[in-house]
A and B are shown apart, each in its own frame.
Chain A
Amino acid sequence: NAGVMQNPRHLVRRRGQEARLRCSPMKGHSHVYWYRQLPEEGLKFMVYLQKENIIDESGMPKERFSAEFPKEGPSILRIQQVVRGDSAAYFCASSPPIQGYNSPLHFGNGTRLTVT
């Protein structure tokens, strides 16, 4: 049973370009979370999605960032017109439909975005 798959593992973009980060949750998981880890910091929550719905986007920057989790296919975190401050590791995590103690988050290995 494959874990949470994120790709690419590393992504380099020039300032002003778009970055697309993909996340395929674990099989049977329908809840996806995106976190960002800036250098020397812990992970910070960005957005929580279920299939075709954004449940909580309280951690998303107001501009340039968007996320989706379509009925078919992976979840996508999209960053438009990237700036150097967007350089970070972006983690996706998934959990099964039932919340609670027995459904811990499963994290992917992250995508390291570097903006040059």
Chain B
Amino acid sequence: AQTVTQSQPEMSVQEAETVTLSCTYDTSESDYYLFWYKQPPSRQMILVIRQEAYKQQNATENRFSVNFQKAAKSFSLKISDSQLGDAAMYFCAYRSDYGGATNKLIFGTGTLLAVQP
């Protein structure tokens, strides 16, 4: 069974600085997707970025980028130029891409990011 581990329960960053959130996962599959979701106090789950395992190039979305290391099964999220609105809980998630695969996501336990003004 696949598992997702986020070893940093809490992180803090100064506004305008850069922060990296860690995520590791365990799987025997070769085809899958990885995601980072943001959950602000409103509780809404917002997709931040996604990565297909077959792509070597790291995904980037504006100030958000990932460092995907497939062999190490690592998928970290880098937030550049941090803003106060980035303060939230961040979840790493895994989705299988095998036959019959669905949008069944496996989530980590989350990292609570605080942004200091």
Please list the residues of chain A having a beta carbon within 8 angstroms of any beta carbon in chain B: 31, 33, 35, 40-45, 48, 55-56, 89, 91, 93, 95, 99, 101, 103-105, 107-110, 112
Contact = CB atoms under 8 A, between A and B. Distances in A.
Nearest to A44: B107
B109 A42 contact: yes
Interface stretch (B14-22, B44-52, B62-70, B74-82): B44-52
A33 B103 contact: yes
Contact of B44 (A45, A95, A104, A107): A107
A43 B106 CA distance: 8
Classify chain B: how many residues form its interface, as a range.
20 to 34
Contact of B102 (A48, A108, A110): A48
A110 B50 contact: no
B11 interface: no
A107 B47 CA distance: 9
Contacts of B42: 109
Contacts of A93: 45, 103
A111 to B, nearest CB: 10
Contacts of B43: 89, 109-110, 112
B103 A43 contact: no
Contact of A42 (B33, B46, B91, B104): B91
Which of B6, B47, B101, B105 has the most CB atoms of chain A within a 10 A radius of its CB? Answer: B105
A43 B104 CA distance: 11
Contact of B103 (A44, A89, A105, A112): A105
B104 A103 contact: no
